[in-house]
A and B are shown apart, each in its own frame.
Chain A
Amino acid sequence: MVSQAPQLAVKAEALVKNFGETAVLRGLDIELPTGEVTVLLGANGAGKSTLLRVLSMLTQIDSGSISMFGADIAKNGPATRALTGSVLHSPMLYADMTVRENLMFFAEMYRLQNIAERVAETTAQVGIEPRLDHRVRTLSHGFQKRVALARSLMHNPELLLLDEPESGLDNLSVARLGRIIDDYRSSGRTVIMTTHIVEHALELADRAIVLNYGKVGLNSAFPSRDKDEILAAYSSTVTAQ
């Protein structure tokens, strides 16, 4: 390995986000190198989802700065979004369009060239080919979640942002998801995810960050070694509620 400092996938400084009287992010700092799988842990309201929404550019921070792959996201919106793929809580699909129509439409939004090919590849990756021509409305939540995952992979993003991606997925799909994440890591790309399956995530991840009420409570680069410490920090944020 070359000893130069790896480029940072995400560098966030002093992030603050308030919704009225609720402070969600309170001066949060993180630095995530490329090629790592990071798992965000914390109680409800710790700021995990808001942080992912901020990194996906759906939520504007009140103050602070974020750069991704060296570029300030406030100034390079579209270019940065081309490098990220997100799966958030809701599948965010058009219920009265088929899976294929949804994916084709979003492929146009991402300005992809070889649309049909990319749709075929990613749908195979997440295993949704059998129902490509079903309307989204008729599909289960877990299936919709997989369609959303396919959409987030279509443009081969460098950074994958996943908010509880396993929720609603069956065991087979969770295993597929694990393969996709491994694949991302081995090709030097970056994943940031939240999860409710903590033990499993700690084995999978290269880094675990416990958020405590809008700040970083604990940042471990050896999640499998620091497991007990991480679990203790995580459960203390949960009981604090």
Chain B
Amino acid sequence: MMGSLAVIWAIGRKDLLLEIRNKDVVVAVAGFALLVLVIFTFAIDLNQGNAKLVGPGVLWAGIAFAGVTGLNRAFALEVEGGTLEALMLAPISRDLIYLGKALGNFLFIAVAQIIVIPVFAVLFNLVVFRWEMLAISLLTTVGFSAVGTLFAAMSVKVRAREVMLPLLFLPVVTPLLMAAVESTGHMVNGRSWSDMAQWLQLAVAFDVAFVVVSAFIFQHILED
């Protein structure tokens, strides 16, 4: 058990080390999401309470779209040098590879959000530095990386994988996206935890279901 956790952590830490050297993924995700936010500040008149109405949707749509590009990039990096196959040669079960890669992706998207959410607060003039935001963000990021890692691994051999990944990823994560948008909406309107409880429960259910199923199913994906 401890051995498995060490392997998962080693893969995640390795991804982080490469990311610190290359800045391939986080910069892409954060940059893309920030651009979405900025474009929406022009597209929508943010003066009359509109920010509270559309802000949460813009934020999470931006992170979802940006996240897809990041997930694509992150897995492509592992495949281009053939290193995914090197991991497959190791005497570890495939679910550990999945969990390690998902951990790496979780860290990338989380770090990108640390950049994006404060900018969102400034541009949309909303209060977001609250525990609710942290909970929503964590739950959403877990689900995004669980589903995204699975589909990114599946899409690597597809021609036009840049198109394929969002087509698979976005419909499947819609419930999670709804949960994130609605909870954030409750939060910026100053409502309490109990108002968003159902949505947060939904997000937890989504996360648990997809982490477990993906880890279980991953053994069918890698070998050609």
Binding site for B on A (CB under 8 A): 56-60, 77-82, 84, 86, 88, 90-97, 101, 105-106, 108-111, 151, 155
B171 interfacial by beta-carbon distance below 8 Å: no
Q: Are A79 and B82 in contact (CB under 8 A)?
A: no
CB < 8 Å neighbour of A57 from B10, B14, B86, B223: B223
Bound-state CA distance A85–B11 (Å) is: 20
| Count of A-B contacts judged by CB separation below 8 Å | 74
CB < 8 Å neighbour of B91 from A92, A96, A97, A110: A110
16 A-B pairs (CB sep. < 8 Å): A58-B223, A60-B224, A78-B91, A81-B90, A84-B89, A92-B82, A92-B83, A93-B86, A95-B81, A97-B14, A97-B17, A101-B17, A109-B7, A109-B11, A110-B91, A111-B91
Question: Which residues in B have their C-beta under 8 angstroms from that of A57?
Answer: 88-89, 223
A105 to B, closest residue via Cβ: B14
Q: Are A88 and B92 in contact (CB under 8 A)?
A: no
A54 to B, closest residue via Cβ: B223
Query: 6 closest A-B pairs (Cβ-Cβ)?
Result: A82-B91, A109-B90, A92-B86, A92-B82, A90-B82, A81-B91
Bound-state CA distance A86–B85 (Å) is: 11
Question: Which residues in B have their C-beta under 8 angstroms from that of A91?
Answer: 82
Report B1-28 residues with CB < 8 Å from chain A CB: 3, 6-7, 10-11, 14, 17-18, 21-22
Q: Are B10 and A109 in contact (CB under 8 A)?
A: yes
Given the known inter-chain contacts A59-B224, A81-B89, please indicate yes or no for A108 contacting B7, CB distance below 8 A.
yes
Q: Are A93 and B83 in contact (CB under 8 A)?
A: yes
B88 to A, closest residue via Cβ: A58
Bound-state CA distance A199–B42 (Å) is: 72
Question: Size range of the interface on B?
Answer: 20 to 34
A111 to B: closest C-beta gap in Å:
6
Question: Which residues in B have their C-beta under 8 angstroms from that of A109?
Answer: 7, 10-11, 87, 90, 92
B10 to A, closest residue via Cβ: A108
B192 interfacial by beta-carbon distance below 8 Å: no
B24 to A, closest residue via Cβ: A96
Q: Main SS of chain A's interface residues?
A: loop
Question: Which residues in A have their C-beta under 8 angstroms from that of B88?
Answer: 57-58
B97 to A, closest residue via Cβ: A109
B153 to A: closest C-beta gap in Å:
14
A222 to B: closest C-beta gap in Å:
32
Bound-state CA distance A58–B85 (Å) is: 7
Q: Known contacts A94-B83, A97-B14; can you find 19 more A-B pairs with CB under 8 A?
A: A56-B89, A58-B85, A58-B89, A78-B91, A78-B93, A84-B89, A90-B85, A92-B85, A93-B83, A94-B14, A96-B18, A96-B21, A96-B22, A105-B10, A106-B86, A108-B10, A109-B10, A109-B11, A111-B91
Q: B90-102 interface mask toward A, CB cutoff 8 Å, 1 = contact, 0 = none? A: 1111100000000
Question: Which residues in A have their C-beta under 8 angstroms from that of B86?
Answer: 92-93, 106, 151
Question: Which residues in A have their C-beta under 8 angstroms from that of B22?
Answer: 96
Question: Which residues in B have their C-beta under 8 angstroms from that of A59?
Answer: 223-224
Question: Which residues in B have their C-beta under 8 angstroms from that of A106?
Answer: 86, 90
Q: Are A60 and B223 in contact (CB under 8 A)?
A: yes
Given the known inter-chain contacts A77-B93, A97-B17, A97-B18, please indicate yes or no for A111 contacting B83, CB distance below 8 A.
no
Q: Are A86 and B81 in contact (CB under 8 A)?
A: no
Q: B176-189 interface mask toward A, CB cutoff 8 Å, 1 = contact, 0 = none? A: 00000000000000
Question: Which residues in A have their C-beta under 8 angstroms from that of B14?
Answer: 94, 97, 105
Question: Which residues in B have their C-beta under 8 angstroms from that of A90?
Answer: 81-82, 85
